[in-house]
């Protein structure tokens, strides 16, 4: 039997011990004596969340295909085990071998949302790895700590905690990085020598090799490498042939129920829509599809190898997949009768999607989701959300006639150029949808309708046209939500409309982490040392603790949140080249202010810059 890192007494005294024992179906065991590189792959949140993440599954599979690498998994210990590990000085361990993380060659941490930053420090701390990269010495006492994922597109607020970052999609450069590591270790190079070499690989950013200077007003004056053979611009790595890219045929099947307890089929990467608030829509350009045949193969193999009873499509906008009927009809025809549930998220509501959804779900129980994001057509044009009131209402009308009576509506508040009328328009749109329902004769409808309106507060993200935008104060945000609430209460069908909104203060922090610079790192470290952890979890979120940390560090929150940036300001993330140019983003920001919409990539190329990758939608019809 595998020896576990924790004894029975500990495991039986904590919640869900299965989070920490490994040994799941399809987890990969190797003989550590036969591998050259041990890689600990971490999602800095609790097991059930981390196990649901597709990106790690892809890299876990890809790394373990190499005979010389053993990749294992690590997640954040929940607060109960966190306390025990600290009290007893037990080092954090990887699930497969149960060996301490500090004995590994690499610790890779995926950064999927900003509010995980204190959990990153927890992982390092419990692993007994110095929190600051500069304290890890010149030798090989500690693993190389490498960050990746969407938040690595502005790594600066957490730069001092990492030895390096991988900018872009993992499938591309990791093999070269691992080969380089083996070569450097064989030659007897030390840690700084290896990092210097690694910094010359495309997509690899080593923060210690770059220096920042600031203007008197606090903005960045310059950002440059400290020596001449290090690139001044890091180019983000993108997979060009999705069909040929590795994809796991046998993902790990947890003993306990993960958030995503199903087979996930990534049908495409990227989005053609160009919504101006959306970071994913920019950093994953160009949109690239997997072929239908390849998807069919993966669907068969993954269902067979996992035994999952559900399969779901994954993409930013499934309706834009060029052969959506092909994949959907295949899934229904092939698996629909075998007691496999089929889940079809992010579908535009139209006749086709309603037809297929009525085949795969119970119409009476399920709800339909619209994401208009803004209440008024004017503001939807500002954010370039190409969804019109007419389309929403006709979609709702068709859905109601098809038997649905539950609708979810998602909006954002605090968008650039948003005014009082736009907020009230959220209530008006919900009311119009309710009225559509009650136009149906009473004997043909299914009781009352239920419209759930949710708003989140908008956070400007790097590499979007709104990266120049200002944010608001917590009190302002709550005022915006109040306006919506009041207006909904004034509607005729208010009893059919439910409204809930998100916390406001966490939005501010998310905004600071998203667009912050290196000076934020000290605040994160201070907050962590004063108890901040699991900030993404409402029950552990403590705004006061963060306010105190900013005050102690003398860092002005408003500088990061309340300022509309000048057009020529140097951003902390400007050294990364994602393909989409800053010039394009700025022209989109200007168009937003004029309410001019930009067509999607298939309608007309807008020259965003992603065409330099020479792939995906940019190359469609040009072969």
Partner 1 sequence: MKFIGHLDVMRYFQKAIRRAGIDIAFTEGLSPHMIMSFAAPLGVGLTSDAEYMDIELNTPPSSGKAVIDALNAAGTEGITVTGFWQIPEDKANKAMSLVAAADYELRFRGGCAPAGDWQSQISHFFAQKEIVVLKKTKKAEKEADIRPMIYEMSVNAGTVFMKLAAGSAANLKPELVMDAYLHSIGVEPEPFAYEIHRCEVYANLGNEKKRRLVPLGALGREIVDESPAGPDDNVQETAYI
Which of 81, 509 has the CB closer to partner 1?
81
Q: How far is the CB of 38 from partner 1 (least distance, A)?
A: 21
Q: How far is the CB of 490 from partner 1 (least distance, A)?
A: 39
How many helices, marked H, and strands, marked E, lie in the chain? 20, 19
Show contacts of 30-35: CB within 8 Å, 24+ apart. Answer: 30/64, 30/70, 32/70, 32/97, 32/99, 34/67, 35/67, 35/68, 35/69, 35/70
| Residues 25, 252 contacting (CB under 8 angstroms) | yes
- Mark the segment that binds partner 1 (CB under 8 A) among 234-242, 274-282, 300-308, 455-463: 300-308
The answer to the question of residue 306 lying near partner 1 (CB under 8 A) is yes
Tokens standing for residue 376 = 């008024």
Which of 303, 327 has the CB closer to partner 1?
303
Q: How far is the CB of 173 from partner 1 (least distance, A)?
A: 33
Concatenated DSSP letters of 62-118: HHHHSTTEEEEEEEPPPHHHHHHHHHHTPPPB-TTT--BGGGSSEEEEE--SGGGHH
Which of 255, 537 has the CB closer to partner 1?
255
Which of 307, 531 has the CB closer to partner 1?
307
Which of 2, 529 has the CB closer to partner 1?
2
Question: In the beta sheet, which residues pair with residue 268?
Answer: 289
Among 1, 186, 227, 233, binds partner 1 (CB under 8 A): 1
In the chain, the N- to C-terminal Cα span, in Å, equals 55
The answer to the question of residue 568 lying near partner 1 (CB under 8 A) is no
Among 5, 212, 303, 426, binds partner 1 (CB under 8 A): 303
Which of 130, 336 has the CB closer to partner 1?
336
Binding mask 245-264 for partner 1 (x = CB under 8 A): --------x-xxx-------
- Mark the segment that binds partner 1 (CB under 8 A) among 67-75, 99-107, 298-306, 606-614: 298-306
Which of 222, 259 has the CB closer to partner 1?
259
- The Cα-based distances of 88 to 91, 376, 463, 531 in angstroms read 9, 57, 44, 18
Q: How far is the CB of 21 from partner 1 (least distance, A)?
A: 6
> What CA–CA distance (Å, rounded) separates 555 from 319?
44
Among 308, 423, 424, 461, binds partner 1 (CB under 8 A): 308
> What CA–CA distance (Å, rounded) separates 147 from 589?
29
Question: In the beta sheet, which residues pair with residue 145?
Answer: 107
Backbone angles phi, psi at 313, to 5 degrees: -85, 145
Residues 586-615 that bind partner 1 (CB under 8 A): none
Q: Determine how many CB atoms are found less than 10 A away from the CB of residue 45.
A: 24
Among 213, 339, 444, 623, binds partner 1 (CB under 8 A): 339
- The Cα-based distances of 68 to 32, 212, 444 in angstroms read 10, 38, 65
Tokens standing for residue 407 = 């609708």
Q: How far is the CB of 261 from partner 1 (least distance, A)?
A: 8
Q: How far is the CB of 239 from partner 1 (least distance, A)?
A: 29
Which of 273, 308 has the CB closer to partner 1?
308
Q: How far is the CB of 8 from partner 1 (least distance, A)?
A: 6
Q: How far is the CB of 57 from partner 1 (least distance, A)?
A: 16
Which of 310, 620 has the CB closer to partner 1?
310
Which of 174, 335 has the CB closer to partner 1?
335
Q: Please tell me the count of residues contacting partner 1 according to CB under 8 A.
A: 26
Binding mask 10-49 for partner 1 (x = CB under 8 A): -xxx---xx--x-xxx------------------------
Cis peptide before 605 (omega within 30 of 0): no
What string of H, E and C letters represents the secondary structure of 10-73? Answer: HHCCCCCHHHCCCCCECCCCCCHHHCCEEEEEEECCCHHHHCCCHHHHHHHHHHHHCCCEEEEE
Among 65, 86, 183, 304, binds partner 1 (CB under 8 A): 304
Residue with tokens 């960050």: 147
Residue 389 Cα to chain centre, angstroms = 28
- Mark the segment that binds partner 1 (CB under 8 A) among 304-312, 417-425, 429-437, 554-562: 304-312
> What CA–CA distance (Å, rounded) separates 281 from 268?
12
Q: How far is the CB of 357 from partner 1 (least distance, A)?
A: 15
Among 362, 390, 539, 568, binds partner 1 (CB under 8 A): 362
> What CA–CA distance (Å, rounded) separates 401 from 395?
10
Backbone angles phi, psi at 142, to 5 degrees: -120, 155
Which of 304, 448 has the CB closer to partner 1?
304
Which of 16, 182 has the CB closer to partner 1?
16
Q: How far is the CB of 308 from partner 1 (least distance, A)?
A: 7
- DSSP code for 369: E
Which of 18, 221 has the CB closer to partner 1?
18
> What CA–CA distance (Å, rounded) separates 470 from 92?
40
Q: How far is the CB of 250 from partner 1 (least distance, A)?
A: 10
Q: How do 406-413 and 341-343 pair as beta strands? A: unpaired
> What CA–CA distance (Å, rounded) separates 121 from 103?
18
Q: How far is the CB of 480 from partner 1 (least distance, A)?
A: 40
The answer to the question of residue 83 lying near partner 1 (CB under 8 A) is no
Q: How far is the CB of 297 from partner 1 (least distance, A)?
A: 18
The answer to the question of residue 326 lying near partner 1 (CB under 8 A) is no
Which of 64, 287 has the CB closer to partner 1?
64
The answer to the question of residue 307 lying near partner 1 (CB under 8 A) is yes
Q: What is the CA radius of gyration of the chain?
A: 25
> What CA–CA distance (Å, rounded) separates 389 from 430?
11
Q: How far is the CB of 446 from partner 1 (least distance, A)?
A: 15
| Residues 331, 342 contacting (CB under 8 angstroms) | yes
Which of 11, 292 has the CB closer to partner 1?
11
Residues 54-73 that bind partner 1 (CB under 8 A): none
Q: Determine how many CB atoms are found less than 10 A away from the CB of residue 200.
A: 13
> What CA–CA distance (Å, rounded) separates 293 from 273?
25
Note the residues at the interface with partner 1 (CB under 8 A).
1-2, 8-9, 11-13, 17-18, 21, 23-25, 253, 255-257, 303-309, 339, 362
């Amino acid at each position: 039997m595998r020896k576990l890192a924790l004894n029975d007494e500990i495991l039986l005294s904590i919640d869900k011990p299965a989070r920490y024992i490994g040994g799941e179906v399809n987890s990969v065991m190797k003989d550590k004596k036969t591998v050259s590189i041990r890689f600990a792959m971490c999602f800095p949140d609790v097991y059930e969340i981390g196990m649901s993440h597709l990106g790690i599954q892809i890299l876990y599979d890809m790394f373990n295909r190499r005979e010389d690498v053993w990749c294992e998994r690590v997640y954040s210990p929940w607060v109960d085990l966190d306390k025990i590990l600290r009290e007893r000085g037990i080092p954090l361990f990887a699930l497969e071998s149960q060996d301490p993380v500090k004995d590994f060659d690499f610790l890779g941490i995926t950064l999927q949302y900003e509010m995980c930053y204190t959990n990153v420090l927890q992982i390092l701390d419990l692993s007994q790895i110095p929190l600051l990269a500069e304290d890890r010495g010149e030798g090989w006492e500690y693993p190389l700590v490498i960050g990746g994922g969407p938040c690595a597109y502005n790594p600066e607020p957490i730069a001092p905690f990492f030895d390096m970052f991988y900018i872009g999609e993992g499938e591309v450069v990791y093999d070269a990085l691992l080969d380089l590591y083996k070569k450097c270790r064989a030659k007897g190079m030390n840690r700084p020598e290896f990092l210097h070499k690694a910094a010359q690989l495309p997509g690899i950013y080593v923060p210690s090799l770059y220096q920042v200077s600031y203007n008197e007003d606090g903005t960045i004056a310059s950002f440059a490498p400290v020596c001449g053979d290090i690139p001044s611009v890091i180019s983000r790595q993108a997979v060009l042939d999705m069909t040929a890219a590795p994809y796991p045929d046998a993902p790990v099947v947890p003993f306990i129920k993960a958030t995503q307890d199903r087979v996930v089929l990534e049908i495409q990467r990227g989005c053609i829509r160009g919504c101006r608030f959306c970071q994913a829509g920019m950093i994953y350009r160009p949109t690239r599809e997997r072929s239908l045949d390849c998807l069919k193969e993966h669907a068969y193999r993954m269902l067979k190898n996992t035994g999952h009873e559900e399969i779901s499509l994954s993409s930013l906008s499934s309706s834009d997949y060029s052969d959506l009927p092909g994949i959907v009809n295949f899934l229904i025809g092939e698996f629909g009768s075998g007691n496999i549930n089929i889940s079809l998220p992010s579908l535009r509501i139209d006749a086709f999607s309603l037809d297929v959804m009525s085949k795969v779900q119970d119409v009476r129980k399920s709800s339909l989701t619209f994401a208009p994001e803004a209440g008024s057509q004017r503001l939807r044009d500002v954010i370039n959300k190409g969804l019109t009131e007419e389309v929403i209402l006709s979609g709702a009308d068709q859905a109601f006639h098809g038997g649905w009576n539950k609708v979810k509506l998602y909006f954002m508040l605090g968008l650039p150029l948003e005014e009082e009328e736009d907020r009230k328009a959220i209530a008006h749109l919900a009311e119009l949808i309710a009225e559509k329902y009650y136009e149906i004769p009473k004997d043909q409808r299914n009781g009352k309708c239920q419209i759930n309106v949710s708003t989140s507060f908008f956070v400007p993200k790097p590499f979007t046209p709104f990266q120049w935008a200002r944010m608001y104060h917590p009190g302002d945000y709550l005022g915006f939500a109040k306006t919506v609430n009041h207006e909904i209460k004034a509607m005729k069908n208010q009893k059919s409309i439910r409204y809930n909104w998100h916390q406001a203060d966490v939005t501010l922090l998310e905004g600071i982490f998203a667009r912050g610079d290196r000076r934020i790192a000290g605040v994160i470290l201070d907050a962590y040392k004063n108890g901040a952890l699991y900030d993404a979890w409402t029950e552990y979120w403590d705004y006061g603790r963060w306010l105190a940390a900013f005050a102690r560090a003398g860092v002005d929150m408003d500088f990061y949140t309340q300022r509309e940036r000048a057009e020529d300001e140097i951003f902390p993330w400007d050294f990364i080249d994602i393909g989409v140019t800053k010039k394009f983003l700025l022209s989109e920001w200007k168009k937003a202010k004029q309410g001019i919409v930009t067509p999607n990539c298939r309608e007309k190329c807008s020259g965003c810059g992603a065409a330099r990758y020479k792939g995906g939608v940019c190359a469609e019809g040009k072969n």
